Chain A
Amino acid sequence: MKRQVIDKGVHSGFLVIALFSITALFWIVVFLFIEGIPILDHVSIKDFIFGKYWYPTDEPADFGIFSLILGSICVTLLSGIMAIPLGIMTAVYLAEIAPPRVAEIVKPIVELMASMPSVVIGFFGMVVVAPFIQQVFDIPVGLNMFNASLMLAFMAIPTICSISEDAIFSVPTALKEASFALGATHFETIVKVIIPASLSGICTAVILGLSRAIGETMVVLMAAGGAAMIPGSIFDPVRPLPASIAAEMAEAPFGGEHYHALFAIGIVLFIFTFMFNLIADYISYKFRQVGEASL
């Protein structure tokens, strides 16, 4: 009898702990809003999001984050252009072509890429890549959108690659064999059968990869140049949302309007990644047959 009671207690105990993640998420949202919403006393939502000028310490201050949002979006898209093909192609290579021996070496390399600390990548972008692209493209500054995107692509590739690979790997062999039986080459099978069958997993991978890129802080803080302007070319410096928060939070007095504005930027950033994750979650839930993406 007593054992059953303990068992019940343990069961509910585990449930409570399992709820911790969602509770933590909830409190993160609550704190973002508690600290971020007061900025609306100083600026309307429209002016905050679409305002072109970010002069948070002027008197009177301007809290327009449009150029920061645009900076984030541009950097993320550009890094996506580099990371998506590379990531998916590597995944296809690993799952379909690579001999097992080679795959056993390449996979840990991808994992090591994923574990490379972001500050080291940002440092590399700042110290090695910036002077390099400054010379090669003969541009005034090496700390710019292109540099940051390149570094972000490096960070997004492992996410895209490993989740895509899972998806491709879990395509049933029967499909593949059927395609071979019809006389298709291996490559034709990959393009016409395997990729369509794993498309939802690949989409999830791409979205999560981009989500990682848009939320990444140190790289854009160190390599993007930090100018709060609407970029005119890929060699213009930008100031993405996370860079603004990280650079200015130390100097914004607690409870001041600047402090609230930075938390409000946090809300915007959170909404971006939350949307990405919801879409990814929806796709992987809706089209589950290819195996759930594991994080």
Chain B
Amino acid sequence: MNKFIKLIFVLIISTLIASSQSFAGKLVIKGSTTVLPIAQKAAEAYMAENPDVKISLSGGGSGNGIKAIIDGTADIGNASRFIKQKEVDLANAKGVYPVPFRIALDAIVPVVNNKNDVADFTMAQLKDIYLGKIKDWKEIGGTPGKIVVISRDSSSGTFGVWKDLVMKKERVIPSALTVPSNGGIVQAVAKTPGAIGYVGLGYLNSEIKAVKVEGIKGSDENTLNGSFPISRGLFMFTKGWPKGETMGFISFILSKKGQELVKDAGSIPLF
């Protein structure tokens, strides 16, 4: 029995000692689920090219990505929005200088169930739906039926952009279903006939129907020329100017090859 207890102590102590050391060739990436498919594709390709590098990837949202950079728990923090003043202040207080890299563009597209015949939303309609003022599809010329509003968890970057650009900072009704990811919205909308949701361009597929906004289709072209009203940049943040593997990875994403992966992942490449 004593042996076991000794073992535990040794385990804990060695854990504590080892925790102060960092491992070479290891990259920890955290943050926005919107950037996740890009980061994942890039990580797979980068690890294939550099077999001695170990990359671990977790989601959690933009706030989490930037937080991880400030706390030093990640090498790269993904965010689907720019850093907030509050976060800059927190970083300054801790003596950290977060450096942003814009790695791609993205459009947030309203989506409905395939059975829904609505073809176009105005920004005002979208806002009223999410405010709960419009409750039935017939009010905007669709087939009568209750609108099921699906939204994202309040700390996701996608939600933040939606709130800024569509809601103009007003509040989404409490009865909105919340799901933890873009993929979750796709699934919920595909399963629910009266549903409306919003996803990053990369998540559009045949299970759901993308709807035009103010007559403009969400696409690469319309985002790059600025005509699609709900678009944003996607960022990777590093703690200070990147070095070593972090630098290597960021350079890889910003290279021609990396940007092709951005396109594969369904977002809009910078060039």
Interface residues of A (CB under 8 A from B): 17, 52-58, 67, 130-131, 134, 140-143, 225-229, 236-237, 239, 247-248, 250-254, 256, 258
Contacts and interface: CB of A to CB of B under 8 A. Distances in A.
Contacts of B180: 247
A250 B191 contact: no
A136 to B, nearest CB: 14
Contact of B71 (A52, A54, A252, A254): A254
Nearest to B31: A251
A227 B154 contact: no
B174 A250 contact: no
A56 B155 contact: yes
Interface string B147-189: 0100001111000100000000001011111111000000010
Interface residues of B, number: 36
Majority secondary structure of chain B interface residues (helix, strand, loop or mixed):
mixed
B63 interface: yes
Contacts of A253: 63-64, 66-67, 70, 87, 90
Contact of A140 (B63, B64, B70, B192): B192
B87 to A, nearest CB: 8
A227 B176 contact: yes
Given A53-B174, A252-B63, A258 B155 contact: yes
A55 B171 contact: yes
B229 interface: no
B115 interface: no
A70 to B, nearest CB: 12
A140 B61 contact: no
Contacts of B146: 140
Contacts of B242: none
Interface string B178-208: 1110000000100111110000000000000
B86 to A, nearest CB: 8
B37 interface: no
Give the interface SS of chain A, mostly helix, strand, loop or mixed.
Answer: loop
Given A237-B177, A248-B153, A134 B191 contact: yes
B94 to A, nearest CB: 10
Contacts of B233: none
A236 B173 CA distance: 14
B148 A140 contact: yes
Interface in B63-100: 63-64, 66-67, 70-71, 87, 90
B202 to A, nearest CB: 20
A142 B148 CA distance: 11
A228 B174 contact: yes
17 contacts: A55-B154, A57-B154, A130-B191, A131-B191, A140-B148, A141-B192, A143-B177, A226-B153, A226-B179, A247-B178, A248-B155, A250-B59, A251-B61, A251-B63, A252-B63, A253-B67, A254-B67
Contacts of A54: 174
B155 A229 contact: no
Contacts of A140: 146, 148, 192-195
Contacts of A229: 173-175
Contacts of B191: 130-131, 134, 142
Contacts of B66: 253
B131 to A, nearest CB: 13
A229 B171 CA distance: 13
B60 interface: yes
